[in-house]
Structure formats: structure tokens, C-alpha cells
Amino acid sequence: MDFYIYDTTLRDGAQSEDVQLSTPDKIKIALRLDEFGVACIEGGWPGANPVDNEFFQEIKSYSLKHAQISAFGSTHHANHSVETDPTMLALVAADVPILTIFGKSSEKHAKDALRVEPSRNLQIVADSIAFLKKHAETVFFDAEHFFDGYKANPAYALAVLKAAYGAGAGALVLCDSNGGTLPSEVSEIVTSLRKEMPAATFGIHTHNDCELAVANSIAGLQAGATHVQGTMNGVGERCGNANLCSIISIAELKLGKKCLPEGQLAQMTSVSAYMYEVMNMKPFARQAFIGKSAFAHKGGIHVSAINRDSSLYEHVSPESVGNSQRVLITELAGRSNIVSLARRFGFHLDKDEPVVKGLFHELKTKASIGYDYAAAEASMELLLLRKLARRGVREFFNLRRLRVLETKEIDGQTVAEATVALEVEGAVEHTAATGLGPVNAIDNALRKALRPFYPKIMEMNLRDFKVRVLTVQNSEAATNALTDSPITQNQYKNALENERVKAVNKESGTASMVRVLIESYDPHGSWVTVGVSYDIIEASWQALADSVSYKLYQDEWREHSKKNI
């Protein structure tokens, strides 16, 4: 490999304030990273906590294909001999092939943090590495606060590196511990070090306090470093660590350098998603290369261009990192967006066709009053396919009546009860169910009615429910929206009256329309649907009905595809 990928998600990444990993979590992440093909996985600091100790014991039960495990610690304490220091002994006891320690490379830190003479710090670094070299295949030295120390006193920072190298360090990892160094400084310093110590292997470890961690890592690699440390998705203390998802993608796609086994880069998006899932974190949509929005196109001019040649507005192929192109349908969309989206579902349309013009007008109207089809792509897909009357989309059920009541039980708990009457496959199903809140009650009643006809509906679960109050710009837009919704005449009149009141009192938010987004999932994936109305129950029903319809449509399409194979 051209660049050695050292992943510290399990140690440095776990220091993020919103990350809490159990031993099983750490094992899952390590196994996925090994499958992905990183060279080294830093498991934690042995002796620091029970979770890290358990990890080093349990990981021995697994045979890794690509990665080696590293244990992390510090140089020995100034008041201890290296042979009796608890940190040194815990590192040895971890029994892993790679040991990584950090030491002070800044004269100021040696004096003020360790409170030792600079010469004593040099001895501590050398003795620690020499001792660990007797017990491990490889010892890496993380030169903490290196760039700050070098800028203050280049001679001393260089002396620390030479002490570590002379004691047998396999790589001298230059750390921008405070995250305040600029890429130009990294490049200049690494270039100078390569001339001063041409036989040494240099690494780079950066933090994101100036949002320059990836840029600084790439600058270091371009200047001659070959070992790079970081975390998946850039998780870490304060503003995070260098994001290996971006670093690896840039190295392979932009610099032409190998970081992973052949063909593994295409797993990048799925690996990132897996990390977010295990860490119970929400994915960052605008994350470079692998975010949901990384290859999303909203403006009609852009979409018209990528329909001809995707490279006109995409710097790399989305598929190269396992991502995919998305064409968004919003108030800014043009007919090219619809043509492109239809193509994704196998329909080859011309933007001047009447169906495209009609759908374009309908989407513009709906978007103008709050339907967010960029966020709710499942609703968008259903709308498109229904309009085109293709690919097995049908009305799986029709609502006859819906009523929701909330009652207070004897124990004081408020319980919602929903009653629904549905027409399903020619029969009328009338059911009722309770739930914790009106939406949960509606969901339960809907499932109860549909289960005899579509048993797989029970595979589906709701993951997220979001409500946002919208500001409707004018009564005409409100009227258009409301007449498209299955609401009562009284609701319609009340909504128009609310719009009139709001025109008088713009400070009031209670008269506004609401948008409901529901995210659902089943064993095959997840999807988001949308509903908009003045009535939050009605908006919730729209989103929920679309969510269930999408599940049923996908199930039927999968069965149809199997039969045609």
C-alpha cells in the first residue's frame, strides 16, 4: 500500500462527547474495519477502563484478514522506572503486535505539563520505546503537540523525533493535537523533516478544530508522510479527528495512491453508515463523498447538465465510493429533474411530454405549500409512479373514515384510540386500536386492518417522526393544498378562516400548516414519506399512508422481480 491507514475510531474517536461504546460495539466496529481493509485498528488504552481491557481479551478470539490491532498509551511516568511503570506493563499485557505511545514533543509541554527538564523528556521517550520494542513487533510514536512545538522550538521538536527514531520507533507520527495548524505549515514542516531524516517513516495525526484536519492530513501525505491516523466519519474529541472516509477517498481517487485492498473503496458509504448505526449517531448528510447530499442535485440547470454528462457537476463517480446520484424534486426543480428521476425508475421520457409538464406543475404547487420531496423520496417515488401508472403501483387500501380520541385512564395515563374504516381488496375493514399518542394509535389500527391481507406489514417499523410548522405565503396556495387533501368541509372552512386570521396577525403560529415527515424501515431498508395539512392528524395520516403503501409496493415489486428471474 502507498499509504498506511491507522484507524483510531475505537480510542480517539470514542472520546467524542456523543459516543459511548460497549465492548460488543467495539468488536463489531473492529471486524467491519478489518473487512474494509484498513491496516491497523487502535483498540484503546489497556488499563484505562474495563471496556478496553475486555476488548483486547475478546478480539483475540477472531482471525482478522487485513488489520493488525494496536494498543495505545503514554510514555512512562517521570517518577517511575520504565520496567515498573503501570502504563508500560499494561501495554505489554495487551499482547498485540503493535504498540503506540504518545510523548511530549513540545519543550513547553515537557516543562509545564510533565514538569520535567527537556533533557529528561528525551530520555523518557527513548527508554519507553526501547522497552516496548522488546515486547511487540512494531512501536509507533505519536509526537504530541508536534507542530506547535516545532514552530516554537524546531531544534527541540526535532531532538524528540531523533530520540524516538534512535530507540526503534517504526513511524514518527506528527500530531496537530490542538488542531490549529494550517496546511501550508504542515507541508513546509514535513518537507523539512524529510530532508533532515530521510530514512525515517513519518505519519500524520490531525484534529479538526479549524476544520482543516483532512486538508492537513493530505498536505502531510503530499509532503512525504506515508502513515495517516484518523477516525471513521471524523468522530473525536472537541471538533473531531481527521475523517478517514474523506482521506482515503481523496488519496485513492485524487492522488492515485492505494490505501485499501483492490475494490474495497466502493464499500466506503456502507462502512460509514455502519459506524453511525453502531455509535447511535445521525449521519451527516453533507459529508464529502459519502453523505446523502454529496451527489444530490436540486437546481434544474444542474440536472439538465448531468443528464447529458454527470461529470459536469460531479467531481468523481458516486459509485466509486458506494454512493449514488440523487435528483431532488423541490420548488427549484425543472422538468429535467423529473425526466432524470423517471429514468432512475426505468422510464425514458422527454421533458416536453404532457405527463412531464403536468407532473412538474403538480410538484411545484405542492412544494410551494410545504411538501418536502427532497427529504421524502418515497412519497416522491409513489407520486411519480402513480402519475405514470406503471410498475405495479396501485391503491392497496382506501380510507373511508378515521377518528382519533384521547382519554385519560384510571391510573392517570392519557391513551389515544384510533378507529379506521378501510376498503382493502374489495372488502371493508373496520378496526380500532389504542396507542401512546394519536399517531401510534393510527399506526396500530392501520396495521390491524391490513395484516390479514398483507402479513408482511408487521415487518415494518417507524423510526422517526418529525413535525414542522410552515408559513403559507398566500390563501391561494393554501386553497390549492387543502383541496388536494381528503379533509372535511368544516376543516376546509376552518383552514381558510385560519389563513384569514393569520394574515391579520402574522405573529400567530397556531394557524399555520404543518409538515410531517415519517421515517420507516424494514429488513430491506428505510424510507421517508411526507404529509402536509392544517390538521396535524391529517398530515400524519398522509405520511403514514404513504409509508405503508411504499412498503407494500416494494414487497410486491420484489416478488414480481423474483418470478421474472
% of the chain at pLDDT higher than 90: 65
Domain match, 401 and 361 both = no
Domain C-terminal end among 387, 420, 453: 453
Q: In whole numbers, what is the pLDDT of the chain averaged over residues?
A: 87
pLDDT at 121 over 50: yes
Residue count (the chain)? 565
3-state secondary structure labels for all residues of 209-238: CCCCHHHHHHHHHHCCCCEEEEEHHHCCCC
pLDDT at 508 over 60: no
Q: What is the pLDDT of residue 393?
A: 62
Per-residue pLDDT band for 501 (boundaries 50, 70, 90) equals: very low
pLDDT at 388 over 90: no
3-state secondary structure labels for all residues of 63-125: CCCCCEEEEEEECCCCCCCCCCCHHHHHHHHCCCCEEEEEEECCHHHHHHCCCCCHHHHHHHH
Q: Which three cell numbers stand for residue 78?
A: 517521570
Domain membership of residue 382 (yes or no) is no
Instruction: Find the CATH number of the domain harbouring 178.
Output: 3.20.20.70
Mean pLDDT of 299-327: 86
Domain membership of residue 215 (yes or no) is yes
Q: What are phi and psi of 428, to 5 degrees?
A: -105, 120
> Which candidate, 68, 64, 55, places its Cα nearest to that of 35?
64
pLDDT at 410 over 80: no
Domain match, 429 and 540 both = no
Whether the Cβ atoms of residue 511 and residue 499 lie closer than 8 Å to each other: yes
Per-residue model confidence as pLDDT tens digits over 194-223: 999 999 999 999 999 999 999 999 999 999
The sheet with strand 398-408 has its strands ordered as 398-408, 414-424, 427-435
pLDDT at 485 over 50: no
Domain match, 105 and 232 both = yes
Whether the Cβ atoms of residue 513 and residue 533 lie closer than 8 Å to each other: yes
Q: What is the pLDDT of residue 219?
A: 98
Q: What is the pLDDT of residue 448?
A: 94
Q: What is the pLDDT of residue 334?
A: 67
Domain match, 301 and 259 both = no
Per-residue pLDDT band for 94 (boundaries 50, 70, 90) equals: very high
Q: What is the pLDDT of residue 337?
A: 75
Other C-beta atoms closer than 10 Å to the C-beta of 201 total 17
Q: Which long-range contacts (CB under 8 A, 24 or more apart) does 500-508 make?
A: 500/475, 502/472, 503/475
Domain match, 238 and 362 both = no
- Coil, helix or strand for 416? strand
Domain match, 234 and 330 both = no
Q: What is the pLDDT of residue 145?
A: 96
Domain membership of residue 289 (yes or no) is no
Per-residue model confidence as pLDDT tens digits over 175-200: 999 999 999 999 999 999 999 999 99
Tell me, rounded to whole angstroms, the distance of Cα 425 from its chain centroid: 40
Whether the Cβ atoms of residue 340 and residue 300 lie closer than 8 Å to each other: no
Q: What is the pLDDT of residue 347?
A: 73
Domain membership of residue 40 (yes or no) is yes
Domain membership of residue 392 (yes or no) is no
Q: What is the pLDDT of residue 493?
A: 39
User: For residue 45, which amino acid is it?
Assistant: W
Domain match, 182 and 246 both = yes
Q: What is the pLDDT of residue 338?
A: 76
Q: Which three cell numbers stand for residue 441?
A: 394509535
Q: What is the pLDDT of residue 389?
A: 64
Domain count, the chain: 4
Per-residue pLDDT band for 483 (boundaries 50, 70, 90) equals: very low
Question: What sections of 416-535 are H helices per DSSP?
Answer: 438-450, 475-483, 489-504
Q: What is the pLDDT of residue 132?
A: 98
Domain C-terminal end among 426, 453, 480: 453
Domain match, 178 and 123 both = yes
Name the pTM for this structure.
Answer: 0.72
Domain match, 181 and 303 both = no
pLDDT at 484 over 60: no
Domain match, 317 and 406 both = no
Per-residue pLDDT band for 499 (boundaries 50, 70, 90) equals: very low
**Domain coverage including residue 70:** 4-278
Per-residue model confidence as pLDDT tens digits over 531-559: 999 888 999 999 999 999 999 988 888 88
Q: What is the pLDDT of residue 333?
A: 60
Domain match, 116 and 171 both = yes
Whether the Cβ atoms of residue 69 and residue 44 lie closer than 8 Å to each other: no
CA distances from 234 to 185, 269, 272, 459 (A): 22, 14, 10, 33
Q: What is the pLDDT of residue 397?
A: 92
Domain C-terminal end among 232, 251, 278: 278
Per-residue pLDDT band for 506 (boundaries 50, 70, 90) equals: very low
pLDDT at 564 over 80: no
Q: What is the pLDDT of residue 73?
A: 97
Domain membership of residue 287 (yes or no) is no
Mean pLDDT of 68-72: 98
- Coil, helix or strand for 264? helix
Domain membership of residue 385 (yes or no) is no
Query: What is the DSSP track for 294-360?
Result: TTEE-SHHHHHHHHH-GGGS-SS-GGGGT---EE--STT--HHHHHHHHHHTT----TTSHHHHHHH
Q: What is the pLDDT of residue 374?
A: 73
User: For residue 436, which amino acid is it?
Assistant: L
Domain membership of residue 47 (yes or no) is yes
Q: What is the pLDDT of residue 387?
A: 76
Domain match, 325 and 216 both = no
Q: Which three cell numbers stand for residue 419?
A: 378507529
